[in-house]
Structure 1
Amino acid sequence: MRESGVQCLTSGQLHHMAYTEWGDPANPRVLLCVHGLTRNGRDFDELARALSRDYRVICPDVAGRGQSDWLANKNDYAVQVYVQHMLILLARLDVAQVDWLGTSMGGLIGMGLAALPDTPIRRLILNDVGPVLSAPALSRIGEYVGRAPLFASVEAAEQYLREVGPGFGKLSDDQWRALTVSGLRRDADGWRMRYDPAIGEVMRASPLKTDMLLWPMYDAIRAPTLVLRGVDSDLLTHTTAEAMSQRGPRAHIVEIAETGHAPMLMCAGQIEIVRNFLLEAPESSDPV
């Protein structure tokens, strides 16, 4: 694993966007893995390690998360801004084409980029997200984002993460600890979550009264698409996933058992689903 970064310009502010890189830097086959709303690129460590023989894997920390700088204008925490940041990253990497794996928010960024004419995205994986965003699910998420307490210990932070992230699925104790440690920053008084709390404030400032519909964006996608859905997900319903298989890119759907929002892609079975789609395009859609 190598750590690097790129400088972006947003609303007149220069800011650093960090990323980790795995595999041969000369490999022309590039996979971009983009995390969810309050997470960071280290979520993909196990997947990136497993795919690093086949891919140059890039895992950015979206602005305001992980090792990346927080944005001065909090209204810039928006998908359309993140799409611009990712294009800057691709220019920094000097690659013309990528495969994309996006969890939740990372999937929305991927959809936004994949829908554009002459997109650089060759293959697209949407991890528990689609063109219908459930208003109740977003409200649930908005209730806790940016409101995490100050933690006296890593153990206390891990307990909190387990409470707010039951949808991550069946993870080992080591995996829960890894997700906790990568998502924390130390300050003088204890431990805090490693993201800008203003992300939650932006969400709560404009609450959705009805579901958000993004079908025109999805229908414009032409890249082969895989949709992963946690069977118990409240953000991506089974009905929406089925519709995604019938229109636009006619996505291949795989449902992950004993998981909600969102599968963390840390176990061998889930990683194999990703590998097979990227390299072999599997046909089975049976629950894992």
Structure 2
Amino acid sequence: MQPRQKTLRYLLADGFHDMAYVAWGEPDRPPVVCVHGLTRQGRDFDRLARALASDFYVLCPDLPGRGRSDWLAGPDFYQPLTYVTALAALLATLPPAVHWVGTSLGGICGMILAAQGKTPLTKLVLNDVGPFIPAAAIARIQHYMQPAPVLPDRGALEALLRVIHASFGVPDDDGWAEMAEHSGRDLAEGGITLHYDPAIGEAFNGQPAADVDLSMFWEKITIPTFTIRGALSDLLLPETLAAMEKAGSRSLVLPEIGHAPSLMDDKTISAIRGFLLEN
């Protein structure tokens, strides 16, 4: 099964932009939107989407500035409000009952949207993110978000991904090859680099690392929530997960994995599918 490549147009202060996404399954099935992390793209969800497509219509966007989506005018545009604006345009094309799977930044966007009045979200899967993000995790991400190198080929790109994303717990060599297939941007002068706009790094590194408190959104969420944590994660701390569980979130902790679980293994995929299928 191969996904269908699509685009939609959304409006920012400087004009219209196109956001790319891939769609799996039939449009008459219940929709699931899967949103990736800070420097990733929608094809990270291929294995999960393929497993869900027999029961759901699965849409996996490339956030602005990533993958096939338009780059924006400058670093100031790369912020959660921009992403939520683009994602709201996608939600507007769907029936008003949407399940959400969000990894890291994608989970932050999901929390913001789930907290809104008349939200179309009906279930929320948060992959290694919660209402509190410690400064140390922000600093670590800033460290690896340096200017992306120019590499000779996709083999070298895969080798780089195995280093910078070692904590993802990608379960097999095919998984790394799949990640490399969709993570590169061919350069006109030759070579390949990572698929995101360098201005994203400028935006993220443009301020000192500090704790992030998202409790104002989390406390307004009333839909069923399932939280996945990598046991070695520095971004979703054990005490944060415990507080989320106390508030009613179900959880799954994955051993020997950090931030953020790849969602490529059968156990995790089965757990997400089970949660989304429950009435």
Give TM-score scaled by structure 1 length.
0.93
User: In the alignment, does 2:75 pair up with 1:77?
Assistant: no
Q: Which residue of 1 aligns with 2:131?
A: 131
Contact persistence 1:135–1:212 (CA under 8 A): yes
Q: Deviations for 1:92-128, whole angstroms, at most 9, x for unmatched residues?
A: x232120000000000000000011111100000000
3-state DSSP of counterpart to 1:245: helix
Q: Which residue of 1 aligns with 2:40?
A: 39
Q: 1:208 Cα deviation (Å)?
A: 2.3
Contact persistence 2:184–2:192 (CA under 8 A): yes
Aligned length: 276
Segments of structure 1 that go 5 or more residues without pairing to the other structure are 282-288
- Residue correspondence of structure 1 range 119-158 to structure 2 within 5 A: 119-158=119-158
Contact persistence 2:170–2:264 (CA under 8 A): no
Separation in 2, partners of 1:271, 1:82? 25
3-state DSSP of counterpart to 1:271: helix
Q: 1:193 Cα deviation (Å)?
A: 0.5
> Share of identical aligned residues, percent?
43
- Residue correspondence of structure 1 range 59-208 to structure 2 within 5 A: 59-91=60-92, 93-187=93-187, 188-208=189-209
User: In the alignment, does 2:233 pair up with 1:241?
Assistant: no
User: In the alignment, does 2:221 pair up with 1:218?
Assistant: no
Separation in 2, partners of 1:149, 1:173? 23
3-state DSSP of counterpart to 1:94: coil
Q: Which residue of 2 aligns with 1:286?
A: none
Segments of structure 2 that go 5 or more residues without pairing to the other structure are none
User: Which deviates further from its counterpart, 135-144 or 63-72?
Assistant: 135-144
Separation in 2, partners of 1:62, 1:160? 22
Q: 1:146 Cα deviation (Å)?
A: 4.5
Q: Deviations for 1:32-83, whole angstroms, at most 9, x for unmatched residues?
A: 0000001000001111111101100000000000100001132121112211
Moved over 2 A (4+): none
Contact persistence 1:2–1:21 (CA under 8 A): yes
Q: Which residue of 2 aligns with 1:284?
A: none
Q: 1:13 Cα deviation (Å)?
A: 2.4
User: Which deviates further from its counterpart, 272-281 or 42-51?
Assistant: 272-281
Q: Which residue of 2 aligns with 1:259?
A: 257
Q: Deviations for 1:15-44, whole angstroms, at most 9, x for unmatched residues?
A: 1100000001122x1000000001000001
Pairing partner for 2:22 from 4, 20, 23: 20
Give TM-score scaled by structure 2 length.
0.96
Separation in 2, partners of 1:151, 1:73? 24
Separation in 2, partners of 1:277, 1:90? 21
Give RMSD over aligned pairs.
Answer: 1.2
Q: 1:148 Cα deviation (Å)?
A: 1.9
Separation in 1, partners of 2:177, 2:15? 34
Separation in 1, partners of 2:50, 2:73? 34
Separation in 1, partners of 2:193, 2:223? 39
3-state DSSP of counterpart to 2:259: coil
Separation in 2, partners of 1:83, 1:25? 22
Q: 1:265 Cα deviation (Å)?
A: 0.7
Separation in 1, partners of 2:221, 2:197? 31
Separation in 1, partners of 2:131, 2:19? 27
Separation in 2, partners of 1:16, 1:80? 16
